[in-house]
Amino acid sequence: MKKENRSHILLRYALVIGCILVFASFIVYKAFDTTVISASRWNEKAMKELSRVDTIRPERGNILASNGSILATNLCYYNVRIDFRSERFMEGRYLLAVDSLADSLALHFPIRDRAGWKKRLLSPLDKPRDKRPRAFKILGNISYADYQLLRTFPFFNIRNSNKTGLTKEKVMRRVNPYGAMARRSVGGVGIDSITGETHGISGLERALDSLLYGKPGLAKKVPLTKDIVNWTDVEPVPGYNIKTTIDINMQDIVENELNNVLTTCNADWGVAVLMEVSTGNIKAISNLEKSPSSDEYIEGMNRAVLGYEPGSVVKTLSMMIAVEDGIVKDVDEVITTGHGFAYAGGRPITDSHGVASMPVREVIERSSNIGMAKIITSRYGDNPGAFYTRLKKLGFLDPMNTGIAGERPPRIDSVASNRGGRIALSRMCYGYSTEIPPLYTLSIYNAIANDGKYVRPRLVERLLGEGIDSVLPVSYVRDTMACSPRTAEIM
């Protein structure tokens, strides 16, 4: 009997030893295969991994108001998820805490009521364990303070995250602390669907994207004892912080006043731009339009830089040219206007408030279409194209490069020297048959207020970066002067 038991024990030892030998042989074979037989294939894979270079995205620069207040910046938010296949996930404790957890979530994150939260929290458990989600989203785009609050909730307050399955995913978002204030001018960003990079899509964010974006860095793979990790080879360079000319207090006043005027007029939309005379600094810019869902006005399309038929505000530009070029020598000279002017056989030009005659100075005061057409055609009627050339020489048709994306220069046709061109000229000089952005009209009025100095409107006054503080100088359109100081004084 003892001999039989000893035989069984030895047989078992033999089986164990045999298994160990087989397993050891397999390990030796695999080691030999990896290091000798398939060495070239594994070396190729290792070199491919080690030669991979990843791009490190730079931090996007901030957009600042003139006093340093932040108009657009980057903030870190978190997406919170549960790994229901976490190795030590405590399912029993989770089920016991789900009611109180749903209560806490409904109280502090009321995107769902208690019942809705409980249903969502329990839904992944309906599946077999090996089919449950590894990244079940609980909350998205929450602040770090909210995440810390979440960690105090029942079940989530267990310190070992492997037991709760709780994970957080860092997300960088572009935010505007002042909300809709100057939103169209500041602009917005979007993620490129191909590269995954964040770039400006409107406003200053788009126009100055190359400065705000910065320069990407490079990371290469480096083998360490236990792993292959990213090693920063070229540090990313953050984008410039851009200091704008916007004055927050003035911006608030302009937006409120524009809103009041539009409400009183029941207008579809309106734009207001406030510019500092001597520098061209845009201190406030507001674009409001009626909301499609209510009678309120909301920040709308940036019409300040889009072309529209301006009407009589262009008479100031035409009169300035007439005085500067000597077409008008005496603003007290009386000219005949009447109630109709059929120039070049075209449809008669009329004034709804016309008089038989008026001094030249009253052409602007009375906003006389006839008076303005008679003054301009007296010089340019025989050569309508020369009026276009005069506007071009002035710099009025040049891009302003204000820094606002979508900016368009005026559309004023180069009219031919024929009957049609002469008729077109007689209309263009008082604001018809043209498309002029409000910002261009503002620039001419500002030049007159600035003793003829044709300063360029701008939204950017300073670039700030690592070791860089660059103040952009005031710039002028063409040859600095739109007109002489004497003409500006007359105007």
Domain hosting residue 88, numbered range? 74-174
Residue 172: name the closest of 73, 69, 241 by CA. Answer: 73
For residues 377 and 453, state if they share a domain. yes
pLDDT of residue 130: 86
In a domain, 309, yes or no: yes
Classify residue 466 by burial, with Cβ atoms within 10 Å: 0-12, 13-18, 19+: exposed
In a domain, 191, yes or no: no
For residues 297 and 312, state if they share a domain. no
For residues 421 and 442, state if they share a domain. yes
Contact 305, 317 (CB under 8 A): no
Q: Which amino acid, one-letter code, is at 245?
A: T
For residues 363 and 378, state if they share a domain. yes
For residues 91 and 164, state if they share a domain. yes
In a domain, 117, yes or no: yes
For residues 310 and 364, state if they share a domain. yes
In a domain, 61, yes or no: no
pLDDT of residue 12: 80
Q: Helical H runs in 78-133?
A: 91-108, 114-122
> Alpha-carbon distance 375 to 275, whole Å?
30
pLDDT of residue 368: 94
For residues 288 and 429, state if they share a domain. no
Q: Looking at 146, 174, 202, which one is the last position of a domain?
A: 174
For residues 297 and 265, state if they share a domain. yes
For residues 312 and 449, state if they share a domain. yes
In a domain, 125, yes or no: yes
In a domain, 69, yes or no: no
In a domain, 262, yes or no: yes
Q: For each of the chain's 491 residues, which pLDDT tens digit applies? A: 556 677 777 778 888 888 888 888 888 888 877 777 777 777 777 677 666 777 888 999 999 999 999 999 999 999 999 999 988 899 999 999 999 999 999 999 999 999 999 999 999 998 888 889 999 999 999 999 999 999 999 999 998 888 999 999 988 888 888 877 777 778 888 888 888 888 988 888 888 888 899 999 888 877 776 677 777 788 899 999 999 999 999 998 999 999 999 999 999 999 999 999 999 999 999 889 998 888 899 888 889 999 999 999 999 999 999 999 999 999 999 999 988 998 888 889 998 888 999 999 999 999 999 999 999 999 999 899 999 999 999 999 999 988 787 889 999 887 777 888 889 999 999 998 899 999 999 999 999 999 999 999 998 999 998 888 888 899 999 878 999 999 999 99
In a domain, 452, yes or no: yes
Contact 487, 452 (CB under 8 A): yes
The domain tally of the chain equals 4
For residues 263 and 391, state if they share a domain. no
For residues 481 and 377, state if they share a domain. yes
Q: Which amino acid, one-letter code, is at 386?
A: A
For residues 48 and 84, state if they share a domain. no
Q: Helical H runs in 381-479?
A: 385-394, 419-428, 438-449
196 alpha carbon, distance to own chain's centre:
16
